[in-house]
A and B are shown apart, each in its own frame.
Chain A
Amino acid sequence: DADVTQTPRNRITKTGKRIMLECSQTKGHDRMYWYRQDPGLGLRLIYYSFDVKDINKGEISDGYSVSRQAQAKFSLSLESAIPNQTALYFCATSDGANYGYTFGSGTRLTVV
């Protein structure tokens, strides 16, 4: 099993729909992150969490919300999806020791 698992791997949804992307990890890391990746823009931070009670906005949090259900689970929600949220979404974890991340396999989201 992968250390960081994201579901679904691919999703097509309609404008205005609510959608949740899920991330679970077996690394035992406290720190979890959600990034989106767009061509030419690189990876941009949406939200991050240092433990269950600590949630922080990243640079592009508008239109997104998150939930840290347990140390191992960190979900990203789009309350009302719009086409410019079409992107590749990555969850990542870190032990904070040297800030290196372990990434999930990504979720390719298309909003039509």
Chain B
Amino acid sequence: GQNIDQPTEMTATEGAIVQINCTYQTSGFNGLFWYQQHAGEAPTFLSYNVLDGLEEKGRFSSFLSRSKGYSYLLLKELQMKDSASYLCAVGYNQGGKLIFGQGTELSVKP
């Protein structure tokens, strides 16, 4: 079956670093995506990993280990505007579809 797990909620302090983990089990694998979604808005693309290792993009980095079925999103120098839901999604072989985790609601406190 297809399964993606990520924590439901996390809280962090402005200026700090936070790591959001994601584990997955899917039939086939064609990349792992992270999206950011503010309340009531559309998800927006943050990162894409298809090979093992770390991808860095400004304050955001994403890591993938395919052998462990594991990814994390690292957010540095947290800002209040980073308060949002972060969605982990896996692309699998059946026609470019993505399966999404339930999302991690991140609250950034002053």
Query: Which residues from chain A sit less than 8 Å from chain B, CB to CB?
Result: 31, 33, 35, 40-45, 48, 50, 56, 58, 88, 90, 94, 96, 98-106, 108
Q: How many A-B residue pairs have CB under 8 A?
A: 57
Contact B95 A56 (CB under 8 A): yes
**Residues of B contacting A: mostly:** loop
Interface string of B63-86 (1 = CB under 8 A from A): 000000000000000000000000
Q: Are B102 and A101 in contact (CB under 8 A)?
A: no
- Residues of chain B touching chain A, judged by Cβ–Cβ distance below 8 Å, are 8, 30-31, 33, 40-45, 48, 50, 87, 89, 91, 95-103
Residue pair B103, A99 in contact (C-beta under 8 Å):
no
Chief secondary structure at chain A's binding surface: strand
Known: A44-B100, A45-B99, A99-B30. 19 other contacts (CB 8 A): A33-B97, A41-B102, A42-B100, A42-B101, A42-B102, A42-B103, A45-B97, A45-B98, A48-B97, A88-B40, A96-B96, A98-B48, A99-B98, A100-B33, A101-B98, A102-B45, A104-B42, A105-B42, A106-B42
| Bound form: Cα–Cα A45–B96 in Å | 12
Closest 9 CB pairs of A and B: A103-B42, A42-B102, A99-B91, A43-B100, A42-B100, A96-B96, A99-B96, A105-B42, A103-B43
A-B contact pairs, 16 of them (CB 8 A): A42-B103, A43-B43, A43-B100, A44-B100, A45-B97, A45-B99, A90-B42, A99-B33, A99-B96, A100-B33, A102-B45, A103-B42, A104-B42, A105-B41, A105-B42, A108-B40
